[in-house]
Chain A
Amino acid sequence: MTTSRNSGTRSRSVGRSILKLDGESLVRGEPVYTDDLHPDGLAIGRILRSPHAHARIRSIDATEALALPGVLAVLTHADVPRVPHTTAGQSHPEPSPYDAYLLDHKVRHVGDRVALVAAESDDVAAQALQRIRVEYEILPPVFDAREALEPGAPRIHDELESRGIRDASRNLVAVMDFAVGDVETSLAQADVVHESDYEVPAVQHVSLEPHVAISWLDEAERLVVRTSTQVPFHVRRTLARVLALPVTRIRVIKPRIGGGFGGKQEMTIEDACAALTLATRRPVRLEYTREEEFQMSRTRHAMRLHVKLGARHDGHLTAIDMRVVSDTGAYGTHGLTVTGSSGYKTLPLYNADSLRYHCDVAYTNHAVAGACRGYGAPQGFYALESAIDELAYQLQLDPLELRRRNVIGAGDLDRVSVALERQGKGHARSIHSYGLAECMQRGARAIDWERRDAVPRDGELRRGVGLALAMQSSGIAGIDWGAAALELKQDGSWMLRTGATDLGTGADTVLAQIASEILGAPPDRVQVHAADTDAVPYDVGAYASSVTYVSGNAVRRAAEDARMQVLALASDLLATDRTSLECVDEGVRSSTGAWVSLAEVAAHALKLHGRALEGHAAFCIPDSPPPFAAQFAEVEVDTETGKVRVLRFVSAVDCGTALHPLQVEGQIEGAVAMGIGYALTEEMLYDDAGRLRNANLVDYKVVHADDMPSMTTIMVESFEPTGPFGAKSVAEVPTNGPAPAIANAIRHAVGVRLTRLPMTPDRVLRALGRI
Chain B
Amino acid sequence: MSGASQRVPLDLHVNGEAHTFQVRMHDSLLDVLRREGYTGAKRVCETADCGACSVLVDGRLIDACSTLALQVHASRVETIEGLAGAMLHPLQETFLRHAAAQCGYCTPGMILSMKALLERKPDASEAEIREVMTLCRCTGYVKPVAATLEYRDARGQKRPERERRE
Min CB distance B8 to A, Å, is 15
Q: Is B136 an interface residue (CB 8 A)?
A: yes
| Chain B residues near A123 (CB-CB < 8 A) | 1, 4-5, 24
Check A663/B105 contact, CB under 8 A, given A29-B79, A705-B130: no
Q: Is A662 an interface residue (CB 8 A)?
A: yes
Check A698/B49 contact, CB under 8 A, given A127-B1, A208-B105, A711-B140: yes
Check A704/B140 contact, CB under 8 A, given A121-B5, A208-B103, A208-B106: no
| Chain B residues near A210 (CB-CB < 8 A) | 43-44
Please determine whether A259 and B96 come into contact, CB atoms closer than 8 angstroms: no
> Could you give, for residues 105-144 of chain B, a 1 whenever the CB lies within 8 Å of some chain A CB and a 0 otherwise?
1111001000000000000000101110101111111111
Q: Is B84 an interface residue (CB 8 A)?
A: yes
Q: Among B79, B95, B137, B145, which residue has its beta carbon within 8 angstroms of that of A670? A: B137
Q: Among B50, B98, B101, B145, which residue has its beta carbon within 8 angstroms of that of A26? A: B101
Please determine whether A504 and B133 come into contact, CB atoms closer than 8 angstroms: no
| Chain B residues near A206 (CB-CB < 8 A) | 137
Q: Is B23 an interface residue (CB 8 A)?
A: no
| Chain B residues near A522 (CB-CB < 8 A) | none
Q: Which residue of B lies closest to A130 (CB)?
A: B1
Check A257/B103 contact, CB under 8 A, given A696-B45, A706-B127: yes
Please determine whether B99 and A290 come into contact, CB atoms closer than 8 angstroms: no
Please determine whether A17 and B88 come into contact, CB atoms closer than 8 angstroms: no
We find that the number of chain B residues with CB closer than 8 angstroms to chain A is 56
> Could you give, for residues 26-59 of chain B, a 1 whenever the CB lies within 8 Å of some chain A CB and a 0 otherwise?
0000000010010111111111011010000000
CA distance A667 to B49 in the complex (A): 24
Min CB distance B61 to A, Å, is 15
| Chain B residues near A503 (CB-CB < 8 A) | 103
Q: Is B16 an interface residue (CB 8 A)?
A: no
Q: Is B156 an interface residue (CB 8 A)?
A: no
Min CB distance A218 to B, Å, is 23
CA distance A403 to B138 in the complex (A): 30
Min CB distance A126 to B, Å, is 9
Check A504/B103 contact, CB under 8 A, given A696-B47, A705-B145: yes
Q: Is A505 an interface residue (CB 8 A)?
A: yes
Check A209/B84 contact, CB under 8 A, given A36-B39, A123-B5, A666-B139: no
Q: Among A17, A37, A704, which residue has its beta carbon within 8 angstroms of that of B135? A: A704
Size bracket of the A interface: 35 or more
Please determine whether A673 and B140 come into contact, CB atoms closer than 8 angstroms: yes
Please determine whether B92 and A28 come into contact, CB atoms closer than 8 angstroms: yes
Q: Which residue of B lies closest to A207 (CB)?
A: B137
CA distance A662 to B142 in the complex (A): 11
> Could you give, for residues 53-92 of chain B, a 1 whenever the CB lies within 8 Å of some chain A CB and a 0 otherwise?
0000000000000000000000000011101100010001
| Chain A residues near B131 (CB-CB < 8 A) | 705-706
Min CB distance A209 to B, Å, is 5
CA distance A670 to B92 in the complex (A): 20
Please determine whether B99 and A23 come into contact, CB atoms closer than 8 angstroms: yes
| Chain A residues near B136 (CB-CB < 8 A) | 208, 705
| Chain B residues near A564 (CB-CB < 8 A) | none
Q: Is B22 an interface residue (CB 8 A)?
A: no
Q: Which residue of A lies closest to B112 (CB)?
A: A29
| Residue in A207, A665, A668, A706 whose Cβ sees the most chain B Cβ within 10 Å | A706
Q: Among B34, B39, B88, B102, which residue has its beta carbon within 8 angstroms of that of A666? A: B102
> Could you give, for residues 271-291 of chain A, a 1 whenever the CB lies within 8 Å of some chain B CB and a 0 otherwise?
000000000000000000110
Q: Among B88, B93, B99, B103, which residue has its beta carbon within 8 angstroms of that of A662? A: B99
Q: Which residue of A lies closest to B111 (CB)?
A: A27
Min CB distance A22 to B, Å, is 7
| Chain A residues near B133 (CB-CB < 8 A) | 704-706
Min CB distance B37 to A, Å, is 8
| Chain A residues near B111 (CB-CB < 8 A) | 27, 29
Please determine whether B138 and A670 come into contact, CB atoms closer than 8 angstroms: yes
Q: Is B97 an interface residue (CB 8 A)?
A: yes
> Could you give, for residues 643-677 of chain A, a 1 whenever the CB lies within 8 Å of some chain B CB and a 0 otherwise?
00000000000000000001101101111111000
Check A27/B44 contact, CB under 8 A, given A123-B5, A208-B52, A672-B140: no
| Chain A residues near B140 (CB-CB < 8 A) | 666, 668-673, 708, 711
| Chain A residues near B45 (CB-CB < 8 A) | 290, 696-698
Please determine whether A29 and B46 come into contact, CB atoms closer than 8 angstroms: no
> Could you give, for residues 241-283 of chain A, a 1 whenever the CB lies within 8 Å of some chain B CB and a 0 otherwise?
0000000000000001111010000000000000000000000
CA distance A329 to B5 in the complex (A): 39
| Chain A residues near B24 (CB-CB < 8 A) | 123
| Chain B residues near A35 (CB-CB < 8 A) | 34, 39
| Chain B residues near A708 (CB-CB < 8 A) | 130, 140-142
Please determine whether B142 and A208 come into contact, CB atoms closer than 8 angstroms: no
CA distance A668 to B143 in the complex (A): 11
Q: Is B9 an interface residue (CB 8 A)?
A: no
| Residue in B24, B45, B81, B138 whose Cβ sees the most chain A Cβ within 10 Å | B138
Q: Which residue of A lies closest to B31 (CB)?
A: A122
Check A208/B96 contact, CB under 8 A, given A504-B102, A708-B130: no
Q: Which residue of B lies closest to A37 (CB)?
A: B39
Please determine whether A258 and B141 come into contact, CB atoms closer than 8 angstroms: no
Q: Is A178 an interface residue (CB 8 A)?
A: no
| Chain A residues near B137 (CB-CB < 8 A) | 205-208, 259, 261, 670, 673-674, 702
| Chain B residues near A207 (CB-CB < 8 A) | 103, 105, 137
| Chain B residues near A28 (CB-CB < 8 A) | 40, 80-81, 83-84, 88, 92
Q: Is A24 an interface residue (CB 8 A)?
A: yes
CA distance A207 to B37 in the complex (A): 23
Check A289/B81 contact, CB under 8 A, given A17-B99, A27-B95, A674-B137: no
The 5 closest A-B pairs by CB, nearest first: A29-B40, A504-B103, A26-B104, A258-B105, A29-B80
Q: B-contacting residues of A (Cβ < 8 Å)?
A: 1, 3, 17, 19-20, 22-24, 26-33, 35-37, 121, 123-124, 127, 205-210, 256-259, 261, 289-290, 503-506, 662-663, 665-666, 668-674, 696-698, 702, 704-706, 708, 711, 713
What would be 26 A-B contacts, judged by CB atoms less than 8 Å apart?
A23-B96, A23-B99, A37-B39, A205-B137, A207-B105, A208-B50, A208-B103, A208-B135, A290-B45, A290-B46, A504-B103, A504-B138, A505-B102, A669-B139, A669-B143, A670-B138, A696-B47, A696-B49, A698-B49, A704-B130, A704-B135, A705-B133, A705-B144, A706-B127, A706-B131, A711-B140
